[in-house]
Structures are given as structure tokens and as C-alpha cells.
């Protein structure tokens, strides 16, 4: 652990995003009651950083290959969908209407197809928010320990 390890989020494992039906605001479940989910890595995980390194390499290559050093920027939504697909580790997909399990293997290609599917933005949004929300990867405070003091440095200075 580094000297700043206690400040760092735990990005060594994925976070489970249980899929919420946007119509009912309830967790989607299959016939056995198992929740539909997508496991995603943090954007700050090694997988996320590797994706960013590759994006920078690709950008440098595109700039070098252009005649004038200028390139068209990538579409940000498509880039985020690609990154989310790379961060997707596993899933249990369930049709919200029939409660049938969708038996598609979780691969980066299938995840990219899912997130790019017209009308499936609600799935991408839930997975993406799960990956970018650092709170999902922070250590949870034990409920057994007594609270020391809960003032912030801003409140302490006043």
C-alpha cells in the first residue's frame, strides 16, 4: 500500500449495478427472483487506465497520420459507450417484460452492442454511472466504530 493508500478508492474489484426498470423504478428480476445486474470496473481502475492509454496512443497516431496535424474529435457519447463496454466485467440480463434471462455472453463486443442499441440508453446510463461514481468504490465506514468528529476542514476553520 502506498503512503496515500487510505485515501484511495478500492478499484481492485468491479461494482455490481442492479438494473432498475425505468418505468416502475424497481429492480428487474428474473423468474427465480435474481436481480438483473451489470458488473463494471471503475474508470480509475487499471482496466480504465489501460483504455485511456490506448485512446491517447490512437489519438497520437491519428494526428501523425493526418496531413495537417488536425483531426476531427471523437464523438464523446460513442467514446463513453466504448469505455463502458471495456469496463464491463459480467452481467445477468433480464427482459423486464417477460422476466426471461437473456443468454448472451458478456464480452466487450456484446457490451458495446448493448450500450449502442437504440432504445437501450437507460441500460448504458446505469452502467456508466456505476463506473464513474467513485463513491461506489470507496471503503464504507464500519457501523460499529464510534464517530470521532464529523467536521470538515471548512467548518473547523470557522
Query: Any residues with CB less than 8 A from the CB of 109 and at least 6 apart, and which?
Result: 85
Using DSSP, state whether 27 is helix, strand or coil: strand
| Mean pLDDT computed over 11-25 | 95
Specify the pLDDT at position 156.
42
10 vs 5, more confident? 10
Number of compact structural domains in the chain: 1
Query: Is pTM beyond 0.75 here?
Result: yes
Q: Which band of pLDDT confidence, cut at 50, 70 and 90, is reported for residue 31?
A: very high
Domain-located, residue 7: no
Query: Any residues with CB less than 8 A from the CB of 64 and at least 6 apart, and which?
Result: none
| Mean pLDDT computed over 2-23 | 89
Nearest to 44 by CA among 8, 78, 80, 16: 8
Pairing assessment for the beta strands 101-102 and 88-94 based on DSSP bridges: antiparallel
137 vs 60, more confident? 137
Domain-located, residue 6: no
Per residue in 45-59, pLDDT tens?
A: 999 999 989 988 887
Domain-located, residue 54: yes
Q: How many other C-beta atoms can be found within 10 angstroms of the C-beta atom of residue 59? A: 13
Domain-located, residue 70: yes
Pairing assessment for the beta strands 88-94 and 15-18 based on DSSP bridges: unpaired
> What's the domain range around 106?
12-137
Instruction: Say if residue 71's pLDDT is above 60.
Output: yes
Helical axes 121-132 vs 108-116, angle rounded to 10°: 120
**Nearest-angstrom CA–CA distance, 62 and 68:** 11
Specify the pLDDT at position 143.
56
Which range has the worst mean pLDDT, 26-30, 32-36, 151-155?
151-155
Amino acid at each position: 500500500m502506498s503512503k496515500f493508500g487510505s485515501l484511495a478508492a478500492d478499484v481492485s474489484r468491479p461494482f455490481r449495478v442492479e438494473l432498475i426498470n425505468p418505468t416502475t423504478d424497481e429492480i428487474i428480476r428474473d423468474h427465480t427472483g435474481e436481480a438483473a445486474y451489470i458488473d463494471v470496473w471503475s474508470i480509475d481502475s487499471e482496466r480504465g487506465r489501460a483504455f485511456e492509454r490506448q485512446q491517447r496512443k490512437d489519438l497520437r497516431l491519428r494526428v501523425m497520420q493526418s496531413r495537417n496535424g488536425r483531426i476531427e474529435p471523437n464523438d464523446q457519447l460513442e467514446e463513453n459507450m466504448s469505455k463502458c463496454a471495456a469496463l464491463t466485467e459480467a452481467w445477468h440480463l433480464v427482459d423486464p417484460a417477460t422476466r426471461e434471462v437473456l443468454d448472451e455472453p458478456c464480452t466487450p463486443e456484446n457490451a458495446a452492442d448493448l450500450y449502442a442499441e437504440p432504445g437501450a440508453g437507460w441500460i448504458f446510463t446505469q452502467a456508466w454511472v456505476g463506473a464513474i461514481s467513485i463513491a461506489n468504490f470507496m471503503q464504507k465506514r464500519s457501523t460499529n466504530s464510534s464517530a470521532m468528529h464529523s467536521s470538515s476542514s471548512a467548518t473547523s476553520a470557522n
